Amino acid sequence: MAPSTAPDSNASATIKIGTRQSALAQIQARAVEQQLKDAFPDRTYKICPVLAQGDKDKVTPLQQLSQGENAKSLWTGELESMLEAGDLDIIVHCLKDMPTQLPDNLALGAILEREDPRDALLISPRLPSGTQLSTLPEGATIGTSSVRRAASLRRVYPHLNFADLRGNVGTRLGKLDAEDSKYSAIVLAAAGLKRMGLEHRIDQYLSSDSGGMLHAVGQGALAIEIRKNDEAMIEILSKIRCERSTRACSAERALLRALEGGCSVPIGVETTWRGGKNLSTGAQPAKDYDKHGNAVEEAEPDMDDQELVLKTLVVSVDGKESVEYETAQKVRSAEEAEAMGREVAKILIEKGADKILEKISAEKQWAAKKQLEETKTTS
């Protein structure tokens, strides 16, 4: 690829990449730096790890930390202030952790090619190998702090128990492996494990076909946050963005925004692409050939000829009530994908998802109030 010849006066300035400090976050930042280096080898880059508020406070339940207007800003607030001040040029995020509404002067600059979006089950080393969700004993405890994960699994496996599990990926694995561990299994995002080279710890991939679990909105995708008016950066990022992942994630995020859910709201999604010229006929898919005439990997069908399939699930905390909806349509831009997501939100609400979400929101407010009262009486 030709090196950048951007005419702006800053074309030689170091690109400062902000990231959280966890091992996974830094791996992700390095992966983005590498993609940028491949596209713009003449530029220089600096990774700046920043300690997030959410990483400092490991005691308060996540659900209460992320209450209210500024939900989730505890993960991104410090980094965003630095981006606004020009101390950073981009922030690398897991899209899943990004609020659907960003501060006014910041923007989502790019969504990169998505890693495996599924959740993964990791079984305790003390249990027989080959154990799956369906063969876990009655009363076995699953570690997860995600309401979506616990609620979705309760729905299909009401005989299992769920317990909070916090910390970064390494900490959570340590808690599963500890000799006196209370967990029979834990659930983590497959993407994080794969990026950390821990794929071998996955005992079962969870999906609509396996465990009845749909993943979180945006799960598995990295996103780049930028200053809204940074045209030079938008141009740079256009070389590393992924249109397919952008359309799928745009549909998911528009759905979440319309349902006004945060990361702890049990909305599961699954987006896949279906059909297209090469696959819909059932004929042998056409091969592509490189310039030497050697067959290369099967060409992906043109996205514009395919349908985006969106599966959704809203489930009550106890797993007893749920609303499901699945649809598919062609989406020829991120905007069309967003319209699809909003339409699906409307249908989910018509089917009763609003009642499930209202109840969860009321319970969260009650828990936060109780927590406040407890702090008052103990201090």
Ligand X SMILES: NCc1[nH]cc(CCC(=O)O)c1CC(=O)O
Query: Which residues sit at the interface with ligand X, rule CB under 6 A?
Result: 94, 96-97, 188-189, 191-192, 219-220
Helix axes 243-259, 334-350, angle to 10 degrees: 30
How near is the Cβ of 35 to ligand X at its closest, in Å?
15
Q: How far apart are CA 86 and CA 14, in angstroms?
A: 12
How near is the Cβ of 342 to ligand X at its closest, in Å?
23
Q: How many CA atoms lie within 13 A of 265 on its CB side?
A: 28
* Contact (CB, 8 A) for 95 and 249: yes
What is the 3 state secondary structure string of 271-312? EEEECCCCCCCCCCCCCEECCCCCEECCCCCCHHHCEEEEEE
In the complex with ligand X, which residue's Cβ is closer, 163 or 279? 163
Q: How far apart are CA 202 and CA 375, in angstroms?
A: 39
How near is the Cβ of 219 to ligand X at its closest, in Å?
4
In the complex with ligand X, which residue's Cβ is closer, 109 or 276? 109
In the complex with ligand X, which residue's Cβ is closer, 188 or 337? 188
How near is the Cβ of 256 to ligand X at its closest, in Å?
14
In the complex with ligand X, which residue's Cβ is closer, 17 or 232? 17
How near is the Cβ of 227 to ligand X at its closest, in Å?
23
Q: What is the b/e burial string over 112-144, where b = at least 16 CB atoms within 10 angstroms of the residue's CB?
A: bebbbbbbbbbbbeeeeeebebeebeeebbbbb
Q: Which residues contact 358 (CB under 8 A, 6 or more apart)?
A: none
97 catalytic residue (yes or no): yes
Q: How far apart are CA 257 and CA 259, in angstroms?
A: 5
* Contact (CB, 8 A) for 235 and 89: no
Q: Which of 38, 89, 97, 230 is catalytic?
A: 97
In the complex with ligand X, which residue's Cβ is closer, 200 or 376? 200
In the complex with ligand X, which residue's Cβ is closer, 315 or 323? 315
Bridge partners (DSSP) of residue 226 are: 107
How near is the Cβ of 11 to ligand X at its closest, in Å?
31
Helix axes 353-378, 334-350, angle to 10 degrees: 90
Would you please indicate which residues are annotated as catalytic (active-site) residues?
A: 97
